[in-house]
Amino acid sequence: MTHGALAAADHGEHEHPSEQKYIKIAIILTIITAIEVAIYYIDWMHDSGALVPALFILSIGKFLTVIGYYMHLKFDSPLFRYMFIAALVGSLAVIGALIALLRVHTIDFGPGGFIS
């Protein structure tokens, strides 16, 4: 994080997308949301176990689109990108660990089964 590099990157106008682009992105986001809801009503998705991974991928796509374009992380100073991504990854790691620790601590090692 040197002076020069950041300062050079951030003087002047950022290259923000145009209004048309914003509207296009909104249409894409709407379509993804519609797909999410639609696949929820397809039995096959439930039965095959594909629903949850599909929902994860779709919502991660929406998430990244909003932070990248609407919050300008894709165009703005790298400092903001580092700050937010670091916080996001850190939070995800802690959440993941918490869920793993607390959902598994009820392990029943007896003959009854693995997760009680």
Interface residues with another protein (CB under 8 A) are 1-3, 6-7, 10-11, 16, 18-19, 22-23, 25-26, 29-30, 33, 36-37, 40, 46, 49, 51-52, 55-56, 58-59, 62-63, 66-67, 69-71, 77, 79-80, 83-84, 86-88, 90-95, 97-99, 101-105, 107, 113-115
One DSSP character per residue, 24-46 reads: HHHHHHHHHHHHHHHHHT-HHHH
Q: For the CB of residue 90, give the shortest distance to another protein in the complex, in Å.
A: 6
Q: Which two tokens stand for residue 105?
A: 């601590």
Q: For the CB of residue 67, give the shortest distance to another protein in the complex, in Å.
A: 6
Burial (CB count <10 Å: 0-12, 13-18, 19+), residue 28: middle
The span from the CA of 36 to the CA of 51, in Å, is 9
One DSSP character per residue, 89-108 reads: HHHHHHHHHHHHHHHHTTB-
Using the structure block, give the residue that is written with the tokens 């992380």: 73
Q: For the CB of residue 63, give the shortest distance to another protein in the complex, in Å.
A: 5
Q: For the CB of residue 92, give the shortest distance to another protein in the complex, in Å.
A: 7
